[in-house]
């Protein structure tokens, strides 16, 4: 098989409804998947998303909602599936961790790790945060024993759990980071992670006794325990391929995750894979958080999340995506500010892009009866115009390969503004020489045709309209 591209979103907790953070992660991945399909071909790309459906938080939420757990997760998972449709996410697979095939495969991997001596029965004493689905030490909590993320009191627990021997792999992991300097991305996250690993890894609990929690995957070597959350969830990236007979896509090119869950992907996941003798993914990219106007992370629990459905209703899907992506680097936090959204739509989409399209379209109609004229003349003026687009593919593609989506889309809009300035400069409406006029208009129409190829991963609907308007053959 030729070059392949496998990209994943995290699987979303089926404990709440989709919010702007989930939509953001999915949109970033979608743009990357769409671009790679354009350059590698549809069959060379596999894009997976899904839902994470086990664990204590889900049991509690189902109880609150007065529903059977399975009914509850079916509901929630369907909402995420609907989100992928409503936001036109082009995933090839939607994996649910309650899928029996996924469960069987997780059991297979548990057994491999156990046989290797990487899983052992131990005693856990600590504070459990249901929100994070993990244990904390007392020193990690505030004075009221609340976790710093969810601000909720953690339960003190002492129980027999199966542990994963994370500490055994510390040096192997550090060695892997050294040999694969692109694995932790963006680069400014590397020191933090490497230093934390160097401070020492503690083994982690990966099971609960069924009497405590009975909503997870049964441990194959001890039927009184279940595994849930991280050992279950992380393996989705592999089981999704195995279930669909797409193993040739492994190792993943890129796991995109929010930086709140990067530790699990940069430390637990590579170690689990080492343990079960699988190749490691090529890269984990941690994107920033969407913040409210005051700089707080948008989340269900803080009740400050913007409803993405309302946004697409008000502004349109392509417009919403454009505003989310073009404002700041993917690796940094982004303050979502509706006033800025309105400004961007007016200035960049309506004035710059909209104007360009309508001006060129009108001139083709007024001067050439709606048929794009031939180019008859290539003088210095035209050469200068053409050279403006030199190495465009290389520049754009490099930005995308570096996950600088905002730079890629801004490069397109830089050219949109150049074309508007070109029209102002040559003033085709004053042109008496028909040959020169034909060349001007041909160049402009060709430049639009050229640019929409690059606009398409970001704004496929806008591109469809432009193709129709100019009667361009869709590519
Ligand atoms: N189920 C785990 C992931 C398991 S992956 C093997 C999980 N789920 S989640 O639903 O809580 O979060 C999923 C993704 O949404 C994470 O990448 C998280 O960073 C992202 N976001 C949640 N809130 C966010 C913002 N406010 N802004 C941007 N992304 C955020 O974690």
**pLDDT tens digits, 128-158:** 887 777 778 888 888 888 988 888 888 888 8
Q: Which residues of the chain have pLDDT under 50?
A: none
Which residue is closest in CA terms to ligand 1's atom 9? 12
Task: Answer yes or no: is the C-beta of 194 below 6 A from any ligand 1 atom.
Answer: no
Paired with 258 in beta bridges are 287
Listed in sequence order, the residues at least 6 apart from 234 whose beta carbon sits closer than 8 Å to its beta carbon are 264, 265, 268, 269, 272
The per-residue pLDDT of the chain, averaged, comes to 94
Q: Which two tokens stand for residue 452?
A: 């929409």
Task: Answer yes or no: is the C-beta of 21 below 6 A from any ligand 1 atom.
Answer: yes
Rounded CA separation 66/10 (Å): 27
Q: Which candidate in 189, 210, 300, 449 is catalytic? A: 300
CA 22–ligand 1 middle distance (angstroms): 6
Omega into 320 within 30° of 0, i.e. cis? no
Q: Three-state SS string across 314-353, please?
A: HHCHHHHHHHHHHCCCCCCCEECCHHHHHHHHHHHHHHHH
pLDDT for residue 1: 56
Omega into 406 within 30° of 0, i.e. cis? no
pLDDT for residue 135: 79
Q: Which two tokens stand for residue 385?
A: 């115009």
Active-site residue, 146 included: no
Task: Answer yes or no: is the C-beta of 324 below 6 A from any ligand 1 atom.
Answer: no
Q: Which two tokens stand for residue 160?
A: 């027999």
Task: Answer yes or no: is the C-beta of 55 below 6 A from any ligand 1 atom.
Answer: no
Which residue is closest in CA terms to ligand 1's atom 22? 21
- Which of 25, 132, 290 gets mutated to test ligand 1 (max ligand atoms within 8 A of its CB)? 25
Kindly report, residue by residue over 358-388, the tens digit of the pLDDT: 999 999 999 999 999 988 767 777 888 889 9
Kindly report, residue by residue over 259-278, the tens digit of the pLDDT: 999 999 999 999 999 999 99
Task: Count each helix (H run) and each strand (E run) in the chain, helices first.
Answer: 19, 16
Task: Answer yes or no: is the C-beta of 52 below 6 A from any ligand 1 atom.
Answer: yes
CA 128–ligand 1 middle distance (angstroms): 19
pLDDT for residue 443: 95
Cβ of 353: how many Cβ atoms within 10 Å? 23
Q: Does residue 3 sit in helix, strand or coil?
A: coil
Rounded CA separation 355/362 (Å): 10
CA 258–ligand 1 middle distance (angstroms): 6
Rounded CA separation 316/12 (Å): 24
Task: Answer yes or no: is the C-beta of 452 below 6 A from any ligand 1 atom.
Answer: no
CA 12–ligand 1 middle distance (angstroms): 6
Listed in sequence order, the residues at least 6 apart from 397 whose beta carbon sits closer than 8 Å to its beta carbon are 39
Task: Answer yes or no: is the C-beta of 258 below 6 A from any ligand 1 atom.
Answer: yes
Q: Which two tokens stand for residue 12?
A: 């979303």
DSSP code string of 61-100? HHHHTT--HHHHHHHHHHHHHHHHHHTT---SEEEETT-H
Which ligand 1 atom is nearest residue 257's CA? 17
């Amino acid at each position: 098989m030729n070059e392949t591209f496998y990209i994943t979103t995290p699987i979303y907790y089926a404990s709440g409804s989709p919010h702007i953070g989930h939509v953001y992660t999915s949109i970033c991945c979608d743009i990357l998947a769409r671009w790679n399909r354009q350059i590698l071909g549809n069959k060379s790309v596999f894009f997976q998303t899904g839902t994470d459906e086990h664990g204590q938080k889900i049991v509690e939420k189902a109880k609150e909602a007065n529903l059977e757990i399975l009914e509850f997760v079916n509901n929630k998972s369907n909402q995420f599936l609907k989100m992928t449709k409503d936001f036109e996410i082009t995933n090839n697979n939607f994996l649910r961790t309650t899928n029996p095939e996924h469960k069987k495969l997780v059991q297979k991997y548990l057994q491999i790790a156990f046989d290797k001596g990487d899983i052992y029965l131990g005693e856990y004493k600590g504070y459990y945060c249901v929100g994070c689905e993990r244990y904390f030490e007392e020193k990690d909590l505030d004075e009221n024993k609340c976790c710093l993320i969810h601000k909720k009191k953690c339960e003190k627990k002492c129980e027999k759990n199966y542990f994963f021997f994370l500490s055994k792999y510390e040096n192997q992991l550090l060695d892997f980071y050294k040999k694969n300097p692109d694995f932790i991305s963006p680069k400014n996250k590397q020191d933090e992670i490497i230093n934390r690993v160097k401070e020492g890894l503690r083994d982690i609990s990966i099971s609960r006794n069924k009497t405590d929690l009975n909503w997870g995957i049964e441990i194959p070597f001890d039927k009184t325990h279940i595994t849930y959350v991280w050992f279950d969830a992380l393996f989705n990236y592999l089981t999704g391929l195995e279930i669909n007979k797409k193993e040739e896509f492994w190792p993943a090119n890129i796991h995109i995750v929010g930086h709140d869950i990067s530790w699990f992907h940069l430390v637990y996941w590579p170690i689990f894979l080492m343990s079960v003798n699988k190749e490691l993914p090529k890269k984990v990219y941690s994107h920033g958080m969407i913040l409210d106007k005051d700089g707080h992370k948008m989340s269900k629990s803080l009740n400050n999340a913007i409803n993405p459905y309302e946004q697409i209703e008000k502004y349109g899907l392509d417009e919403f995506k454009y505003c989310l992506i073009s404002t700041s680097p993917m690796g940094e936090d982004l303050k979502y500010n509706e006033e800025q959204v309105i400004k961007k739509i007016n200035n960049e989409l309506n004035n710059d892009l909209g104007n360009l399209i309508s001006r060129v379209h009108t001139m083709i109609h007024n001067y050439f009866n709606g048929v794009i004229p031939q180019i008859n003349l290539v003088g210095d003026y035209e050469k200068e115009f053409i050279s403006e687009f030199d190495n465009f593919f290389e520049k754009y593609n490099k930005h995308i390969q570096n996950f600088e989506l905002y730079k890629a889309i801004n490069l397109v809009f830089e050219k949109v503004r150049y074309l508007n300035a070109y029209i102002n400069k040559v003033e085709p409406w004053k042109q008496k020489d028909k040959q020169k006029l034909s060349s001007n208009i041909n160049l402009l129409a060709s430049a639009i045709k050229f640019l929409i190829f690059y606009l398409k991963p970001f704004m496929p609907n806008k591109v469809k309209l432009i193709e129709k308007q100019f009667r361009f053959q869709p590519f």
